[in-house]
A = this chain, B = another copy of it.
């Protein structure tokens, strides 16, 4: 597609000779953009990240940047948003990088890695630890650029129809999960299924699967997963945080002036802050409701977590061996994690030990 056609398709409003000079100046810079979300509207917190982004853009640009937000399925499927924005069919997407590990495994670490960093640490790596630059390098050949725009915090380990007391209990377990986590479960002998959020409840309720991980109390309650399985496992070793992201078509991004780029980037950053705050605000009450209605919270035994960790180390090594970029990026991730964990072990963790007990 030639640039002029592309920009027209991309919703840059052409200036008209009939406008007055002031209106001209305004209209010349007006962007009417469409954002396709990977999330259903009913999950108000995660879908709401895209709406927050749109509102901040509109406010900060004085209406120059108008973003219409579409839930998953309204224009394209939740997992099709990457291609839809790369091709220029849509200008923006709100999604999660790790949905695209099938394309290249390195997309995983920009959302979450098993046994990886929590929200505060992951945000720090992206913001100032070199993560953003690596992410740009990964997305550039796809004609995309991505920014943090949401985080769930530490997730739960998932819903199980039976207790997991030893690694042997994972043999033959049929579980719904996502991304590289599936490979970790597969190494433990589980059968892994990939299902969209809207199909999890029925599969779990009818026994087509024995377990499922989704997000955390507030979202899982909305899907009704507590009515389909009794045991709710912690900690969420598979997603110690999950970063949602804003994808922008790179050609379009490169054509923006610094002002619009800055508004978009800061709007995404604000949406990030708001989503994490919303989850922290809502999950407490949701967890309490779940427990009061009969959900049994269980902690994965250390032996089971150690098995997951060993399997993850193997998966991680395989991905690094297969892709030099993955190897380089995960080295940055792990180096940053080691440093920040050294600090948090002395600070955050010491504080947790006193507040929450050992």
Contact = CB atoms under 8 A, between A and B. Distances in A.
Interface string A330-344: 000000101111111
Contacts of A129: 277, 281
Interface stretch (A170-178, A247-255, A264-272): A264-272
Contacts of A323: none
A262 interface: yes
Interface in A87-117: 115
A60 B356 contact: no
Contact of A234 (B22, B270, B341, B350): B350
Contact of A354 (B21, B59, B61, B235): B235
A179 interface: no
Nearest to A339: B284
A287 interface: yes
A346 B270 contact: no
Interface size range of chain A in the complex: 35 or more
A51 to B, nearest CB: 14
Contacts of A153: 120, 347-348
A277 B121 CA distance: 8
A288 B342 contact: yes
Nearest to A269: B270
B280 A340 contact: yes
A259 B60 contact: yes
Interface of A, helix, strand, loop or mixed by DSSP? helix
Interface stretch (A33-41, A78-86, A297-305): A297-305
Interface string A345-358: 11111111111101
A348 B262 contact: no
Interface string A209-248: 0000000110000000000000000111100100000000
A119 B297 CA distance: 26
Interface string A272-315: 11101110110111011000000001010010010000000000
A236 B351 contact: yes
Interface of A: 21-22, 25, 56, 59-62, 115, 118-121, 123-124, 127-129, 153-156, 216-217, 234-237, 240, 257-259, 262-263, 266-267, 269-270, 272-274, 276-278, 280-281, 283-285, 287-288, 297, 299, 302, 305, 336, 338-356, 358
Given A156-B347, A237-B351, A284-B340, 13 more contacts: A62-B259, A119-B120, A127-B274, A153-B347, A153-B348, A217-B343, A234-B350, A235-B351, A266-B267, A266-B270, A269-B273, A283-B340, A287-B343
7 contacts: A118-B348, A120-B120, A120-B276, A266-B266, A270-B270, A283-B343, A284-B343
